[in-house]
């Protein structure tokens, strides 16, 4: 079976499939704007001047042309009558109106980005934790030719290799090509691998150990499949918009929850020797307009984020990831403050590499690189998948263009050396030079076919060399080491009990022993989401909502090795001699023609869902981002019918929701028949087992909401709404709500949520007591002085001989494959090449920096907190103790500093036996106790007044209060 059609529709915005030997259909207007058919070699420095944000080369309507839709209309109606031309004009006007006037606003694109320049790129190798790896990397890179350095920093092109991303090797020094593979919840396109629960389910567990174990199992599977770099975990989007299409890939709508979960996942992955990739840096909060041309506009949307919000919200979890030693960071598609993220020097050089002290390499999202030299100077280290501005053309912004840029002096040799060294150092840091664990042969599976035999480079029409590409190695573990055990534990603990009027847990034996009934208990299961549908893998990249929902769709989805459905698991879990189970896996049961199927039930369990995913796919009118917060496919109507008619009005209804994020429940949650509501999130392959464990009380529910469930979308505020229509040539999205998203917004405006952030019921009860706050160090406004760190590698930065990049004699090139070679010495055009505006400004290193994760003092413990938790109920259970901070009003240099009412800072999950009391401890770091001061450009701890410490069971259920 050929996976190319599936893959070509996927991986961050490839909208059309193509067959080998046939050019992938692309938008001609964009294609012509940058390179004509006759242009075989454009000097890389020319792309600096062609950066869409450079004022010297602003695109015009003539240069870009209309969208693909308009181009198609024009071709269809060319040389037709004046009448048809009139119709065409009307269609153009109509399209332009629908697009918010974007077509006529192309000329009004901002000439300059609003993000300040920050050059040059800080070199890697300044952290002692990476010292040995950088020494080894330096020794290797010093021996590399120019072509080899370019080879390991440029992808080979889409479908040029067995993984979704592949780099070339440095053969003469023994450095292999790297295989990069999606994704955040399993190995995309792989066989015999685990489909773990999604990130949002992991966040709902609030269990640090499970976060780590899931990451470790994931990393082990990647290693055994021959992968070098995992494209996960995901902490961006943060969840600013509850209907955001990819929120489910992350861990929840709070930076601390995201940061801790991300760090634990990274720890697990990298302990297995795999380079983890934290993504997407930063501000990619919606799917609409995330890429150039994907939505008919020449530019991506700009996320306009103020400095404090960037640090305290969207950048916070990336700080945790860097502190955890993450090897790779993926920059996002969209712009930040009107500069593309993968070419934003302030983001990559200033914040990520200087302030956060990131030592690994920055890779682009697939085709998120929008310039050549400019992106290299801005801090990009690896171009993925290697193709340039267009998919599957083999015309890279780097590759041979990067070689030319170094040879003509437009890109400093020092920058290329740092790029290559960062990649090699990450390889050494994870121990991938250990041949007992990594054989250097690359993946033992193909992303492009399910057949045993295939070609290595199916994207090239020249590759006809059939080889074994799928070895079908099972990496799921077995026995008590089976990864399904971890998947089931995460899925189970990620279930949140929202409502329970005494009906749960059900007994596997039906009626309670103290009740007398003449007949067995009758349980009816309703809803398409309870069953198998047409199978879990029927749609490419899980791009349809059918059957039970175990995952969202897109590049973050995987092939299910199996999917246990709720109906199957419940039928097996109930005692068949005492419980009669019938299931109706449809959202439209024949209630009118066969009313007995509803009336003849004692308990009804309704399964509904809400799906979303990446914006390159659409299903049932949903393209990426959800259109609302309701259940889908008539779910609400099904709930109302079942709750009203179950047992002829005498039965009890339990509602189970599988969802990518918050779902509003106001239309049915207060119906008398609805006795329980369960949010099961996205449970992965062990779905049915997990829900059966909870409903039957085999496991006490302990999940907590990783987001707020409001009563309506309006409750979340104006900034929480997807921008479905462009408001200019570059759609502008202002994050004007600042720090106030999700529960922070609800707190600020006194809005009563239906179920608050951190909420979740249990089958037992807990008592909180004895809060003790201990000062470890006295308050001080600013962290200690930035440490100097160690010296980075030093190289001879002389421009190499041109022969190092010349195509070797007799070398046969594959079409569309990205090589580092140039054809002839005359390709090198000498001249004076301008650097970006602001390149000559000397930057002062940030006082907030100094090591991985920032200034080491930010991670120093300044206060400890302890409290006691006691199980006062009748069953063993786990409780998530959540610690929130509140700041007194603080006077800044210009105005009063605003703070949310409460911000999550720490959490712990503990298992407590009946009548047992445990003491739980928390450490509060300087960073926890500080805010970002935009004037002093540092983390500042308020020294006047007290910092309030609140401990409780949710963001709205504080049990204990103390002060520091």
Q: What is the pLDDT of residue 111?
A: 52
Domain with CATH 3.40.50.1700 in the chain: 487-749
Q: Residue 10 above 80 pLDDT?
A: no
Q: Residue 213 above 80 pLDDT?
A: yes
Q: What is the pLDDT of residue 895?
A: 64
pLDDT per residue over 762-771, tens digit each?
999 999 999 9
Percentage of residues in the chain having pLDDT higher than 90: 85
For residue 819, give the 3-state DSSP assignment.
coil
Q: Residue 476 above 80 pLDDT?
A: yes
d(CA 273, CA 229): 9
Q: Residue 861 above 50 pLDDT?
A: yes
Q: Residue 233 above 50 pLDDT?
A: yes
**Topology of the domain comprising 766-781+848-963:** Immunoglobulin-like (2.60.40)
Q: Judge residue 16's burial from the number of C-beta atoms within 10 Å of its C-beta, 0-12 exposed, 13-18 middle, 19 or more buried.
A: middle
Q: Residue 404 above 90 pLDDT?
A: yes
**Topology of the domain comprising 487-749:** Rossmann fold (3.40.50)
Reduce the secondary structure of 361-383 to three states and give it as a string.
EEEECCCCCCCCHHHHHHCCCEE
Give strand pairing partners of 890: 897
Q: What is the pLDDT of residue 191?
A: 98
pLDDT per residue over 798-815, tens digit each?
999 999 999 999 999 999
Q: Which positions are annotated as active-site residues?
A: 365
Q: Residue 201 above 80 pLDDT?
A: yes
Q: What is the pLDDT of residue 90?
A: 41
Q: Give CA separation, 65 vs 72, 89, 309, 410, 633, in Å.
A: 11, 15, 37, 30, 38
Q: Residue 107 above 50 pLDDT?
A: no
Tell me which of 168 and 516 has the higher pLDDT.
Answer: 168
The lowest-confidence range among 225-229, 368-372, 744-748, 824-828 is 824-828
- Find the length of the chain: 964
Q: Residue 102 above 80 pLDDT?
A: no
Q: Residue 238 above 90 pLDDT?
A: yes
pTM for this structure? 0.91
How confident is residue 514, by pLDDT bands cut at 50, 70 and 90? confident
Domain with CATH 2.60.40.10 in the chain: 766-781+848-963
* Strand order across the 947-954 sheet: 903-912, 877-887, 947-954, 957-963
Q: Residue 45 above 50 pLDDT?
A: no
Q: Residue 23 above 90 pLDDT?
A: no
pLDDT per residue over 365-390, tens digit each?
999 999 999 999 999 999 999 999 99
Give strand pairing partners of 743: none
Q: Residue 37 above 90 pLDDT?
A: no
The lowest-confidence range among 260-264, 293-297, 660-664 is 293-297
Structure tokens at 70: 């308009």
d(CA 204, CA 704): 5
d(CA 884, CA 962): 11
Q: What is the pLDDT of residue 54?
A: 35
Q: What is the pLDDT of residue 5?
A: 56
pLDDT per residue over 334-377, tens digit each?
999 999 999 999 999 999 999 999 999 999 999 999 999 999 99
Average pLDDT, the chain: 90
d(CA 681, CA 675): 19
Using DSSP, how many helices (H) and how many strands (E) does the chain show? 23, 31
Structure tokens at 519: 């007949």
Cis bond upstream, residue 327 (ω within 30): no
How confident is residue 512, by pLDDT bands cut at 50, 70 and 90? confident
d(CA 363, CA 166): 12
Q: Residue 888 above 90 pLDDT?
A: no
Long-range CB contacts for residues 567-572, cutoff 8 Å, separation at least 24: 567/525, 567/530, 567/531, 567/688, 568/532, 568/688, 569/687, 569/688, 569/689, 569/691, 569/692, 570/523, 570/525, 570/605, 570/688, 570/691, 570/692, 570/695, 572/692
Q: What is the pLDDT of residue 465?
A: 97
Q: What is the pLDDT of residue 19?
A: 32
Q: Give CA separation, 141 vs 28, 102, 328, in Å.
A: 39, 47, 19
For residue 394, give the 3-state DSSP assignment.
coil
How confident is residue 65, by pLDDT bands cut at 50, 70 and 90? very low
Is residue 330 within 8 A of residue 364, CB to CB? The reply is yes
Work out the number of other CB atoms within 10 angstroms of the CB of residue 10.
Answer: 28
d(CA 107, CA 87): 24
CB under 8 Å to 325, separation ≥6 — which residues?
Answer: 129, 266, 270, 359, 429, 852
d(CA 237, CA 282): 8
d(CA 839, CA 674): 63
Calculate the CA 221 to chain-centre distance. Answer: 19
For residue 640, give the 3-state DSSP assignment.
helix
Q: Residue 790 above 50 pLDDT?
A: yes
CB under 8 Å to 540, separation ≥6 — which residues?
Answer: 5, 6, 9, 10, 617
Q: Residue 30 above 50 pLDDT?
A: no
Region 848-863 average pLDDT? 98
Is residue 171 within 8 A of residue 177, CB to CB? The reply is no
Q: What is the pLDDT of residue 28?
A: 28
Is residue 630 within 8 A of residue 653, CB to CB? The reply is no
Region 933-961 average pLDDT? 96
Q: What is the pLDDT of residue 831?
A: 85
Alpha helices in 430-500 (DSSP H): 483-493
For residue 138, give the 3-state DSSP assignment.
helix
d(CA 731, CA 70): 19
Looking at residue 804, the DSSP 8-state letter turns out to be G
Q: What is the pLDDT of residue 556?
A: 98
Question: If we measure between CA atoms, which residue out of 773, 742, 776, 779 comes closest to residue 883?
Answer: 773
How confident is residue 114, by pLDDT bands cut at 50, 70 and 90? confident
d(CA 871, CA 434): 48
d(CA 409, CA 416): 12
d(CA 134, CA 445): 31
């Amino acid at each position: 079976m050929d996976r190319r059609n599936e893959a070509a529709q996927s991986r961050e915005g490839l909208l059309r499939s193509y067959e080998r030997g046939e050019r992938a259909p692309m938008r001609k207007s964009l294609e012509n704007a940058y390179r004509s058919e006759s242009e075989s070699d454009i000097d890389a420095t020319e792309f600096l001047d062609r950066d869409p944000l450079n004022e010297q080369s602003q695109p015009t309507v003539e240069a870009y042309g209309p969208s693909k839709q308009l181009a198609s209309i024009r071709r269809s109606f060319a040389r037709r009558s004046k009448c048809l031309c009139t119709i065409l004009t009307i269609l153009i006007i109509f399209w332009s109106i629908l697009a918010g006037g974007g077509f006529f606003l192309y000329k009004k694109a901002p000439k300059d980005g609003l993000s300040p320049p920050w050059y040059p790129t800080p070199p890697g190798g300044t952290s002692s934790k990476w010292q040995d790896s950088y020494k080894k990397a330096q020794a290797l890179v010093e021996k590399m030719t120019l072509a080899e350095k370019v080879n390991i920093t440029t992808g080979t092109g889409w479908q040029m290799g067995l993984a979704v991303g592949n780099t070339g090797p440095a053969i003469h020094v023994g450095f292999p090509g790297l295989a990069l593979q999606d994704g955040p919840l399993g190995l995309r396109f792989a066989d015999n691998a685990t489909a773990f629960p999604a990130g949002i389910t992991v966040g709902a567990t609030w269990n640090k150990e499970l976060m780590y174990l899931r990451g470790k199992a994931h990393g082990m599977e990647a290693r055994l499949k021959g992968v070098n770099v995992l494209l996960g975990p995901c902490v961006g989007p943060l969840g600013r918009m509850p209907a955001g299409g990819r929120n489910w890939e992350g861990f929840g709508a709070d930076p601390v929850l995201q940061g801790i979960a991300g760090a634990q996942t990274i720890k697990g992955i990298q302990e297995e020797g795999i380079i983890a990739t934290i993504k997407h840096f930063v501000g990619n909060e919606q799917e609409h307009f995330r890429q150039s041309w994907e939505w008919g506009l020449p530019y991506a949307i700009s996320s306009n984020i103020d400095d404090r919000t960037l640090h305290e919200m969207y950048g916070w979890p990336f700080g945790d990831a860097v502190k955890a030693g993450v090897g790779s960071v993926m920059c996002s598609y969209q712009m930040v403050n009107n500069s593309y993220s993968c070419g934003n020097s302030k983001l990559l050089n200033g914040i990520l590499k200087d302030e956060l002290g990131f030592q690994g390499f920055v890779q682009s999202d697939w085709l998120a690189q929008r310039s050549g030299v400019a992106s290299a100077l801005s801090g990009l280290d690896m171009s993925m998948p290697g193709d340039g501005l267009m998919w599957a053309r083999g015309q890279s912004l780097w590759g041979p263009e990067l070689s030319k840029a170094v040879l003509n002096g437009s890109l400093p040799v020092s920058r290329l050396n740092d790029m290559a060294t960062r990649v090699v150092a990450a390889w050494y840091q994870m121990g991938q030079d250990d041949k007992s664990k990594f054989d250097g042969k690359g993946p033992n599976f193909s992303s492009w076919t399910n057949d045993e035999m295939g070609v290595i480079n199916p994207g090239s029409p020249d590759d006809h060399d059939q080889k074994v590409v799928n070895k079908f190695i099972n990496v799921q573990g077995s026995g008590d080491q089976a990864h399904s055990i971890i998947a089931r534990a995460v899925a189970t603990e990620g279930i949140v009990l929202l409502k329970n009027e005494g009906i749960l847990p059900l007994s596997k034996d039906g009626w309670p022993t103290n009740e007398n009934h003449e007949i067995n208990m009758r349980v009816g299961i309703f809803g398409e989401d309870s069953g198998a549908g047409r199978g879990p893998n029927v749609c490419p990249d899980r791009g349809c909502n059918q059957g039970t929902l175990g995952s969202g769709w897109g590049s973050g989805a995987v092939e299910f090795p199996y999917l246990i459905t709720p109906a199957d698991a419940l039928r097996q879990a109930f005692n068949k001699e005492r419980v009669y189970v019938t299931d109706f896996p449809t959202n439209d049961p024949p209630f009118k023609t066969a009313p007995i199927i509803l009336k003849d039930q004692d308990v009804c369990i309704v399964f509904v869902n809400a799906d979303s995913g990446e914006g390159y796919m659409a299903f049932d009118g949903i393209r990426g981002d959800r259109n609302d917060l309701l259940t889908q496919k008539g779910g609400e109507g099904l709930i109302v019918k079942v709750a009203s008619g179950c047992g002829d009005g005498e039965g009890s209804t339990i509602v189970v929701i599988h969802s990518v994020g918050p779902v509003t429940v106001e239309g049915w949650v207060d119906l008398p028949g609805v006795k329980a509501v369960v949010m099961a999130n996205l449970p992965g392959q062990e779905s049915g087992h997990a829900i059966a464990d909870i409903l039957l009380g085999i496991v006490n529910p302990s999940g907590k909401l990783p987001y707020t469930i409001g009563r309506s979308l309006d409750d979340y505020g104006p900034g929480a709404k997807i921008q479905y229509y462009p408001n200019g040539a570059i759609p502008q999205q202002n994050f004007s709500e600042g720090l106030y998203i999700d529960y922070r917004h609800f707190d600020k405006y006194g809005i009563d949520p239906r179920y608050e952030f951190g909420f979740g019921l249990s089958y037992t009860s807990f008592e909180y007591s004895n809060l003790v706050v201990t000062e470890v160090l006295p308050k001080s406004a600013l962290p200690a002085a930035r440490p100097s760190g160690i010296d980075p590698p030093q190289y001879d930065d002389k421009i190499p001989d041109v022969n190092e990049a010349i195509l070797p004699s007799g070398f046969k090139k594959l079409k569309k494959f990205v090589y580092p070679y140039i054809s002839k010495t005359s390709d090198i055009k000498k001249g004076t090449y301008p650097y970006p505006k602001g390149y000559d400004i000397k930057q002062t290193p940030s006082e907030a920096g100094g090591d991985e994760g920032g200034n080491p003092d930010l991670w120093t413990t300044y206060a400890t907190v302890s409290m006691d938790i006691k199980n006062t109920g009748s069953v063993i259970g786990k409780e998530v103790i959540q610690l929130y901070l509140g700041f007194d009003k603080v006077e800044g240099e210009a105005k009063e500093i605003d703070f949310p009412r409460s911000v999550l800072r720490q959490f712990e999950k503990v298992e407590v036996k009946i009548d047992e009391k445990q003491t739980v401890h928390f450490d509060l770091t300087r960073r926890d106790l500080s805010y970002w001061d935009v004037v002093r450009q540092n983390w500042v701890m308020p020294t006047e007044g007290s910092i309030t410490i609140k401990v409780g069971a949710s963001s709205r259920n504080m049990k204990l209060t103390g002060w520091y």
